[in-house]
Structure 1
Amino acid sequence: MGPQPVLNGDEEARLKHWILSKAKLGFPMHPTDVKDAMQKILKATHRTNPFKDDRPGDKWLKLYLNRNPEIVKRNTEIISKSRAAVTENAIREWFKDLRAFLESGNNLNMIENPLRVFNADETGVRTCTKSGLILGPASKKFKNL
């Protein structure tokens, strides 16, 4: 019932994969990030849609999440709690997950190229610039948030 979704099935699946992959790597998306990305796609493709200025609203996101129950909204954690949870094992596990993710996309060359190696700590890198609700997998707790 209702109007057809703006994205086709393959596009919705790719959007879902993008959201879940970013959350799995420790960089969950804020709902406005998803709406911004959708607006860019719609403007670039000149696709007919019911949105003002090609930007989907909260209702579109709610219906998208209903069609994709693997993605849920969660509250962000306070950063001091996240820092307290960091252990050597958690860091090693994160890099193991990163390597597996890059291997799955045949992108392992990204970490083997010395020009792509950076040294940083949490003081200059914000992993979640917006507070409030973020998007991620429904099946398990977020890592590194």
Structure 2
Amino acid sequence: MAPRKNYTLDQIEKAVEAVKNGEKIASAAQRFGVPRITLHDKITRRTSIGCSMGPSTILTKVEEEILEKWLLTLAEKHIPLTKDCLLDSVQKLIINQNRKNPFTNNRPGKKWFHSFMKRHPNLSQRVPDNLSRARDNVSEDNIRTWFKEIESYLEEHNLKNILNNPHRLFNADESAFFLSPKPDRVICKKGDKHPYSKCGDEKDNLTVLITGNAAGVLAPPMIVFSYERIPSSVAASVPDEWAIGKSESGWMCSSTFYEYVTNVFNPWLEQNNIE
């Protein structure tokens, strides 16, 4: 039985380069973690550098590199693929090219997938966070422009002193609690802490508006429902100090936000003596 390969092509290439620069084979092999005999075979060109032990892969090295680039590009665009989508794509490629393979119904299985992921350490599997289309369309320029507009407004109305009082500086943000389950694990760049996946239907969620100031004090939140009329059982389940809103889509709209500021937020500010 052949020994298990526990080194990468990158390690081999670095070890070969070190030997070419004058380092001894045994020393380079130990430093880069590759077998001495293997390194000797590469140096003497008994085997090529790109040649690996074990059975050959079904896809060529170039094809796998294209697959890796494709997966990373999709993940960057917030439409990452699941394992099954990748396997379906490889199956289609095999069928279209009438390529011989050991797979059942021409579709790779778990073993091929794990080997593919091991050959491409830049890839990993993660559970993504849902990201609505509206949030996905926000650019850095949009955010910077917003801050400039707010700063200009405060200057024009002599209100920049508000920024020095954390109790008067509030931020309100909507959080969508999606009613549909999160997607399966997807393939993305290794080390990516927050992979996102665009969700299909933005209406399949419950919206909650959270408002707090820079001093860490939270105002009463508001839950937004998509009901035409809020059922009494639902209204009774909401804490008394919380607000209830409604909109056709279940998302925040200008009229719902106006009602919140007028009937909930402003009275709360007066009760708490916040200027």
The yes-or-no answer on 1:13 pairing with 2:65 is: yes
- Counterpart in 1 of 2:139? 92
- Counterpart in 2 of 1:134? 186
Q: CA deviation at 1:131?
A: 2.0
Larger radius of gyration: 2
Structure with the larger RCO, 1 or 2 (CA within 8 Å, 6+ apart):
1
Identify which of 116, 119, 139 aligns with 1:67. 119
**Separation of aligned partners in 1, 2:182 and 2:87:** 14
Task: Read off the aligned partner of 2:106 and give its amino acid letter.
Answer: D
Q: 1:34 to 1:138 in 2, by over 3 A?
A: same
> 1:9-45 deviations in whole A, cap 9, x for unaligned?
1000000000000000000001100000000000000
User: Is the Cα contact below 8 Å between 2:126 and 2:186 reproduced in 1?
Assistant: yes
Q: 1:8 to 1:130 in 2, by over 3 A?
A: farther
The yes-or-no answer on 1:50 pairing with 2:81 is: no
Q: 1:47 to 1:19 in 2, by over 3 A?
A: same
Q: 1:29 to 1:130 in 2, by over 3 A?
A: farther
Q: 1:130 to 1:58 in 2, by over 3 A?
A: farther
User: Is the Cα contact below 8 Å between 2:80 and 2:186 reproduced in 1?
Assistant: yes
User: Is the Cα contact below 8 Å between 1:39 and 1:55 reproduced in 2?
Assistant: yes
RMSD of aligned residue pairs (Cα, Å): 2.6
TM-score, normalised with respect to structure 1: 0.64
Task: Read off the aligned partner of 1:50 and give its amino acid letter.
Answer: P
The yes-or-no answer on 1:39 pairing with 2:86 is: no
SS in 2 for 1:69: coil
SS in 2 for 1:49: coil
**Separation of aligned partners in 1, 2:72 and 2:118:** 15
**Separation of aligned partners in 2, 1:28 and 1:142:** 12
Which ranges in structure 1 are unaligned for 5 or more consecutive residues? 96-128
Which ranges in structure 2 are unaligned for 5 or more consecutive residues? 1-52, 143-180, 198-275
- Percent same amino acid among aligned pairs? 28
User: Is the Cα contact below 8 Å between 1:26 and 1:142 reproduced in 2?
Assistant: no
> 1:35-77 deviations in whole A, cap 9, x for unaligned?
0000000000011111011100111110000000000000133
**Higher strand proportion:** 2
Task: Read off the aligned partner of 2:139 and give its amino acid letter.
Answer: R
TM-score, normalised with respect to structure 2: 0.35
Task: Read off the aligned partner of 2:103 and give its amino acid letter.
Answer: F
Q: 1:130 to 1:51 in 2, by over 3 A?
A: farther
Kindly tell me the number of residue pairs found equivalent between the two proteins: 105
- Counterpart in 1 of 2:47? none
Q: 1:74 to 1:32 in 2, by over 3 A?
A: same
**Separation of aligned partners in 2, 1:144 and 1:58:** 24
SS in 1 for 2:138: helix
**Separation of aligned partners in 1, 2:102 and 2:90:** 13
